[in-house]
Structure 1
């Protein structure tokens, strides 16, 4: 794991005047993510355009195929758009370093580390836009999966992971009764595995919390995925 690489990605994304979904800079920000995933060794990196309420932007989707035929899909996702206090202000300076360049940087670094590692499951690294306007990018992605009869076995959503609280703890959030309650047991079991891994492999205190107000919410409701997330 390279602290320098993480810092560089955060700084490059935060250098955009804004990455607001309505800003013309959201496209170049998406291309920056594409270029970094491509440089990490992935040939299958695409931008997928969605439209909502007259606005369009792209999700960035990078696929690492699994080695096992018919293997389950794991989504590792974060949103790359940002905002200031007014969610409709697309012109104000908004570096969005914590919310959520840090999550995107983590995904890109994980992708780099896994690029040459054979894994049985297919991994999709996904960077969403439109999160700050109401999960627009992830809702479009989830609806596309649902329409195609596709899905995923696990979702790990990284949102605001770069600025931990004073005790340095990491919170693992899990489904505790959203509109698809059938997710709850599997989500809670997966969160327990993630919390155990954090305790086994890091010195970070671990907390458990409920999922809320980020891209995993819509993915759960539409595609019936097993969820957990790692916010700070």
Structure 2
């Protein structure tokens, strides 16, 4: 039998009739406690403190040294081309795995991509490099962090000329690899995959292959982070925001049918997709003294009409986010190396800020570790919808790894959760707060106090 927690707040909607500014919030303090940032644990602080800008410099320098990492470049030359880069990444990841006492495994899932009539001229092997750190409690629950190791110059078919690809995207690969290095000796509850994908510039081929594999094997991917162009806070106008990283998240899932989209709109849930809940989670756990960063939440799947390696994960139904530096310099992306009118073009390593990349890695690390050591997102979250009333009743499926649960809520015009109501180790709860006026979520809390992203409850009847 489901237990029932009843929470009340007398006079919640008794709004003062005195004259007020039209911009003053109408909401009084509601039930529960104010949501506050989740502070890093001692172990997480230790992990983040071990992220080393010099190691990141070494990784990016080595990737640049391969001359080009274009998808169509050589896969047999030991010193130049995509094959040399792939083999070095796998070898380096293996040295990290050696410190894991068998918990971290290295793999290179691959397939042959046939000519596509656009950016693949001949059959080419697409190979991702994956370091999997198996969870000690829930190995089947998975989180992924990724960057792409391929690159290009101005002509996407030019696979001969030098293409350093320092920012786009050796910086993102360095984030994945550095996190693999510092986390290899630790034991997360859930599984973390540290990935360098191929074929992004030719059509997101490597990430598509990996996302499809995970979908086809029913892998429970509860979060994916794509780091693409995270090497510098300085834009093409010289403006710098060294303590900000942009975080893009999708609203209505691309997998939603027309009827599902209509239903989401009817519920006012356009801003409560699994990816948006993941981004809210990141805003709570990744902005603190340990990262020294602010996360700029942007409510769209990617930069305007652009895409990245998180898109195939979204299209396979997985929550996914993209991280990108705050001010892009387009002279340093997809450009032949040259000087025009005194301006340097090309994705050169001299434009990378290694301290900044290390802080981006800390943002990712704070999110990954907090996710992997909290319970998973509650399943089966529903809100009772067969009767009218000013109370709201919720149910969900119990997770044996959850110590308790919280109901979170926010006014519908607010981006982030404002209040959390602890309800204990129960599978249903009622709050005296109308579902007409706010958005709700259910999140699990572990014995360690770490909290999951919220689940958006869908309507159900009492039968």
TM-score (norm 1): 0.93
**In the alignment, which residue of structure 2 is the partner of 1:190?**
278
Q: In structure 2, what is the Cα distance between the partners aligned to 1:156 and 1:8?
A: 22
Check the 8 A contact 1:175/1:184 in 2, yes or no: no
Q: In structure 2, what is the Cα distance between the partners aligned to 1:196 and 1:44?
A: 31
Check the 8 A contact 2:141/2:221 in 1, yes or no: yes
Q: In structure 2, what is the Cα distance between the partners aligned to 1:133 and 1:142?
A: 17
Task: Choose from 261, 282, 287 the match for 1:199.
Answer: 287
- RMSD of the TM alignment (CA)? 1.8
SS at match of 1:83: coil
Task: Choose from 156, 160, 174 the match for 2:249.
Answer: 174
Q: In structure 1, what is the Cα distance between the partners aligned to 2:213 and 2:291?
A: 36
When structure 1 is superposed on structure 2, of 28-37 and 40-49 the one drifting more is 40-49
Greater C-alpha radius of gyration: 2
1:151 shift after superposition:
3.9
Check the 8 A contact 1:80/1:101 in 2, yes or no: yes
Q: In structure 1, what is the Cα distance between the partners aligned to 2:211 and 2:65?
A: 30
Task: Choose from 206, 214, 218 the match for 1:145.
Answer: 214
Q: In structure 1, what is the Cα distance between the partners aligned to 2:68 and 2:218?
A: 35
1:178 shift after superposition:
5.0
Check the 8 A contact 1:77/1:156 in 2, yes or no: yes
Task: Choose from 4, 8, 15 the match for 2:65.
Answer: 15
1:176 shift after superposition:
2.4
Check the 8 A contact 1:83/1:90 in 2, yes or no: yes
Matches within 5 A, 1:101-112: 101-112=170-181
**In the alignment, which residue of structure 2 is the partner of 1:221?**
315
1:207 shift after superposition:
1.2
- Whether 1:47 aligns to 2:108 is yes
Q: In structure 2, what is the Cα distance between the partners aligned to 1:58 and 1:228?
A: 22
The one-character-per-residue Cα deviations of 1:143-164 (angstroms, maximum 9, x if unpaired) are 2222223341111111111112
Task: Choose from 89, 104, 110 the match for 1:33.
Answer: 89
Structure 1 stretches of 4+ with a deviation exceeding 3 A read 181-184
Q: In structure 2, what is the Cα distance between the partners aligned to 1:7 and 1:93?
A: 19
The one-character-per-residue Cα deviations of 1:22-57 (angstroms, maximum 9, x if unpaired) are 001111101111111111125511212122222222
- Whether 1:155 aligns to 2:224 is yes
When structure 1 is superposed on structure 2, of 68-77 and 102-111 the one drifting more is 68-77
Q: In structure 2, what is the Cα distance between the partners aligned to 1:178 and 1:215?
A: 16
SS at match of 1:167: coil
- Whether 1:91 aligns to 2:185 is no
SS at match of 2:108: strand
1:110 shift after superposition:
0.7
Check the 8 A contact 1:167/1:205 in 2, yes or no: no
Instruction: Work out which structure has the larger RCO, using CA pairs closer than 8 Å and 6 or more positions apart in sequence.
Output: 1
SS at match of 1:12: helix
1:189 shift after superposition:
1.4
Number of matched residues? 231
- Gapped regions of structure 1 (runs ≥ 5): none
Q: In structure 1, what is the Cα distance between the partners aligned to 2:229 and 2:92?
A: 20
